[in-house]
Amino acid sequence: MTTNAELLATYRRVLPSFVSPYFAEPISIERGQGSWVWDVEGHRYLDFFGGVLTTMVGHNNPKVTAAIQEQAAKTLHTSTLYLSPPMLRLAEQITERSGIPDARVFFTTSGSEANDTALLLATSFRSSNQVLAMRNSYHGRSFTTQAVTSHASWSSTSISGLQVNFVQGAYKLRSPFADLDDDTFTKACVNDLVQLLDMTSAGDVAALIAEPIQGVGGFTVPPDGFFGAMKKELDNRGILFIADEVQTGWGRTGEHFWGYEAHGIVPDILTFAKGVGNGITLAGCVARAEIMDTIDVLNFSTFGGNPLSAAAGSATLDYVIDNDLQGNAKRMGERFHATMAPVADDTDWIAELRGRGLMWAFEICHPGTIEPDPARTVAVLEACKDQRLLVGKGGLYGNVIRLAPMLDVSADELDTGIAALRSAISSIT
């Protein structure tokens, strides 16, 4: 039997030092079924992170696995040079669901590449390299998406062809306007946006890119309607709004299919990745034809929308819709919140419980303060593992525990996870 320790030695020997596994004793997941996974040593865990919200409708989902197997036996790859039925079917599903009128979709292989495409479109459409992004954002690892990422610990370069300004408001707990009620907070952030535009921009600004709920940033949730208020100011100046739905799409937030819907707006451009392929590489960028067709030369992503990933994508989306998983996310989210809100209130080192649907986070701080406590956060992560529960970590200071159960998690599984989480929390002093 291969052991976790043997695999860790190989990991350290052949991968770069900037990737790093969770846990003091990292594990290798050998197989999964539904919400459960088994490591190479045979230990079973409840998976409430899905490899960063990417396994979305359960491991080895029978419908998705069958669609992949069926397609794999036909052809794995053809590219946009040919008329691929799986790609066209998925494109129809996504454009229809996007909410964007006269929508076109360009498939890519990662969220970073999807956001690159969105920035390429917006800067070309507006003939401007000026872009706005939210503070505490994460949009990817590529050269352009690093420029719109606002986390010192994830920003590997300051060099960019984009000129970027970062807007207030996505992360209320640490905002200078944190003490204001939601409406006044939104107004203050809009006023700041106006000042930013008046004082720091030169001519036209291309776009604001934003995650409706920040993922890597620790599931920070701005007030409902926040981006609607922002977009009014953007619309006044012709500035495009790019919704990065990489973590918030496909019903994950429960109340809505897309995160942007909580703000009463329709974005000009939408990007997606992660969950839609249930683990198969699939991402893309949706925009109305007027914007998409700004690119009037040839453009091509070799693997984007290949038949295998498209078949996985359609099967995943069918499963989400046929089983009303958005509804399940809403119900399970409410169940989670009802039990865990009192626990968070009673635990003096939990500064905030936030989220919605099946995206929940605990911000962990020194008791009674908002001073980040990354050491205690690691202890919670390890304690959850000891309880056989896999959760994620994140946040600006690495002091946020993130939970994102499968969209089809059952009430029993959720309750099992909640019990494990409660034991983990009570084991920490």
Note the residues at the interface with ligand PMP (CB under 6 A).
52, 110-112, 115, 138-141, 211, 215-216, 244, 246-247, 273, 283
Q: Give the nearest distance from C-beta 283 to ligand PMP in angstroms.
A: 6
Check: CB of residue 296 under 8 Å from CB of residue 121. Answer: no
Residues 226 and 404: beta-carbon distance below 8 Å: no
Q: Whose Cβ is closer to ligand PMP: residue 141's or residue 335's?
A: 141
Nearer to ligand PMP, 146 or 387 (CB): 146
427: buried, middle or exposed (CB in 10 Å: 19+, 13-18, 0-12)?
A: middle
Q: Which residue is nearest to ligand PMP, using beta carbons?
A: 111
- Report residue 126: phi and psi, to 5°: -100, 0
In this complex, which beta carbon is closest to ligand PMP, that of residue 16 or of residue 203? 16
Among the listed residues 134, 155, 89, the one whose alpha carbon sits nearest the alpha carbon of residue 310: 89
Kindly state the smallest distance separating residue 316's Cβ from ligand PMP, in Å.
Answer: 16
User: What's the min distance (Å) between Cβ of 123 and ligand PMP?
Assistant: 18
How many whole angstroms separate alpha carbon 60 and alpha carbon 34?
Answer: 7
| C-beta closer to ligand PMP: residue 396 or 414 | 396
Q: Which is nearer to ligand PMP, 52 or 196 (CB)?
A: 52
Residue with smaller CB distance to ligand PMP, 358 or 383: 358
Cβ proximity to ligand PMP, 75 vs 302, nearer residue: 302
CB of 146 to ligand PMP, least distance (A): 11
Least separation, in Å, of the C-beta of 109 and ligand PMP? 8
Residue 377's closest CA among 389, 391, 387? 391
Q: 170 or 378, CB closer to ligand PMP?
A: 170
Between 216 and 320, CB nearer to ligand PMP? 216
Both structure tokens of 106: 């360009």
> In the complex, what is the shortest distance from the CB of residue 181 to ligand PMP, in angstroms, rounded to a whole number?
27
User: With respect to ligand PMP, which residue has the nearer C-beta, 119 or 383?
Assistant: 119
The residue (of 156 and 195) whose beta carbon lies closer to ligand PMP is 156
Written as six digits, the tokens of 365 are 């701080």
- 75-107 as b/e: b if 16+ CB within 10 A: eeeeebeeebebbebbbebbbebbbbeebbbbb
State the minimum distance, in angstroms, from the CB of residue 100 to ligand PMP. Answer: 18
